[in-house]
Structure formats: C-alpha cells, structure tokens
Amino acid sequence: MPTSVISVDRLGKRYGSTIAVDDVSLEVYQGEIFGLIGPNGAGKTTTMECVQGLRKPDRGVISVLSLDPQRDSSELRQRIGVQHQEAHLQKRIKVWEAVDLWSSLYRKTVDPEALLTRLGLESKRNAWFMTLSGGQKQRLFIALALIHQPEVVFLDELTTGLDPQARRAIWGLITDIRAQGTTVFLTTHLMEEAERLCDRVAIIEHGRMLEMGTPADLVQKHCPERRVVFTSEGPGLAERLKEVPAIQSIASDGSTHTLRGEGDDFVTDVISAIASVGIRVRGFRTEIPTLEDVFLKLTGHGIRD
C-alpha cells in the first residue's frame, strides 16, 4: 500500500454564488506525479490552493503530510514547494537575488548555485526577472519551489504559454524532480502533458471530479477501441483476416483498410496475423486513444472549448 501524502475528502469551495469546487476527494501517494486536469475554470487552481493552505475551504477535510493546511500552515510551508499560475516576481530582481532571498526563508536549503546550474539558469544569474524568457521564468519558479528540498511540489499550469521546445525541457525537469523522491502535484489543461508526465490523473470539470486513475487505465476503461489502418493491394483481404479473433470489424475503402479491436494486445495480434497470412503492406499506422479522447467521452466536448 503506497503512503498517502495528500488526502482531500469532500472538498467544497464557493466564491459568492459561484461554486468553484464541489465535493472533490482525492489521494496523492508518495513519489508520484499526480495531475489535476481539466479546462480553465474547472476548479483545479482552487483545489490546489486549498491543499496548499492559501485558501480556506468551505467544506471538507484536507491533510498534507499529516498536517492541516490551515492550522499548521507555517510548518507546511517549510515542507512544500509551490509555483503559481501566471506568477511574476519584482521586475528588476536579479535571478540570484530571488534564489538568495528564498533560501534565507527556510530551515534547510540546497546549494542555490548548484540548483541554478541544474535548471540551466547559471548564465542568467545576474539577469533581471523582466528580461527572462517565458521558459526561463518558469525554471526560476521551479528553482524557488525546490530551494528548500520540499517533500511535495505543487506546479500550477507550469508550461502554459511556453513554446514546444521549452515545454519539453520543463517536462524533463519534472521527471527529474520525481526521480529525486519528491512528490509532484500538478495541474494542466494539456492532455499531452498529463499523459506524458503523470502517474495518475484526476479529471475535473465545473468543480466536480469526473474520474481518477492512471492515464492507461482511464483510456482502457472509457476508450478501449484501438484501430489499425493499413494500405494493401491484396485481394480478398477481409476474408483472409476474418478468422483473427481480436479483430472486431474491418472497413475497406479501396486499398485502405481499417481494423477495429480492443485491448493492449490488439496491435500485436494484427501484426502477427498480417505476417502469418503473408499480406504485402505498403502503409501501416495505429490509432490509439489518448486522455484527450477520454476527456471528450466524459464531457461531450473537447478541452479547449
């Protein structure tokens, strides 16, 4: 049984008449990357900030590292690291000054210079915050979140607004953080990001949690269908593949054939069937459903709507 580091039980939070979070319960285990995913305004940030102790929940019980975020907030701040969505620092603060300031606030810290090097910021240590690129700013915020060797790191929409290259670099850093034993709790509205990074995800919309599990399990549960599309000139193809049990249907359009089936072994079964009957294949691709498809299925609309 994995150790639970964050537990949220029936969290509720409203702003005036707007319900931001409604009855959300979740567990985050030690050493995993947990993703809260959903569109903007779904309640991800509110949930995360209640967990951090920055907001007071209306209802529900939260425990982080066995601490109450409201009552034990000063102790909790020593043990968690945070990065906020669309955050800034003082325009004219230098990178090293920010890291130096932050490292003076905690009981124990890592070597700031080594951290800057690890995040690729050593050449920017004397640069003002306002002169940094989007990716560099986010790496600095990661540095500030990691300076005190926190046990849990919260990352809110970390890669929003970054170009693909910078985004990939950040992804690498996040998996490094986990490799060092730190639990990561992140939010994202990018399904690709969630799928790449997260061990487990919770899908949230309009403040309600729709699903929770590993990306693979959620795909398997909600969108089990896999497709193989290949092109072949061979005649009588449907007949020759009909006996393969894994294939549920075959649709042919000229020389393009689409095979449908379910399960992890479907693609392997198709490949071995094609090889054993000796069909000459010119083109071959697979269509595997992703978290994006799961989201579409659960909500009836795409995440960017």
Interacting residue ranges for another protein, rule: CB under 8 A:
52, 54, 74, 77-78, 82, 84, 86-93, 97, 100-102, 104-106, 128, 144
Q: CB of residue 268 vs another protein: minimum separation in angstroms?
A: 48
CA distances from 1 to 25, 123, 266, 276 (A): 19, 44, 31, 44
Residue closer to another protein by CB (options 46, 210) is: 46
Residue closer to another protein by CB (options 93, 241) is: 93
Residue closer to another protein by CB (options 93, 244) is: 93
Residue closer to another protein by CB (options 104, 256) is: 104
Q: CB of residue 90 vs another protein: minimum separation in angstroms?
A: 5
CA proximity to 259, closest of 65, 271, 214: 271
CA–CA separation, 132 and 166 (whole Å): 13
Q: Are strands 152-156 and 33-37 parallel, antiparallel or unpaired?
A: unpaired
* Residue 104 in tokens: 């003076």
Q: CB of residue 127 vs another protein: minimum separation in angstroms?
A: 12
Residue closer to another protein by CB (options 86, 253) is: 86
Q: CB of residue 261 vs another protein: minimum separation in angstroms?
A: 49
* Residue 270 in tokens: 């198709």
Q: CB of residue 52 vs another protein: minimum separation in angstroms?
A: 7
CA–CA separation, 143 and 106 (whole Å): 14
Residue closer to another protein by CB (options 15, 277) is: 15
Q: CB of residue 194 vs another protein: minimum separation in angstroms?
A: 23
**Amino acid sitting at position 233:** E
Residue closer to another protein by CB (options 129, 295) is: 129
Q: CB of residue 128 vs another protein: minimum separation in angstroms?
A: 7
Element (H, E) at 116: helix 112-118
Strand partners, 83: 155
* Residue 83 in tokens: 């990065």
CA–CA separation, 296 and 287 (whole Å): 16
In sequence order, what are the residues at sequence separation of 6 or more whose Cβ sits closer than 8 angstroms to the Cβ of residue 294?
A: 203, 211, 218, 219, 222, 223
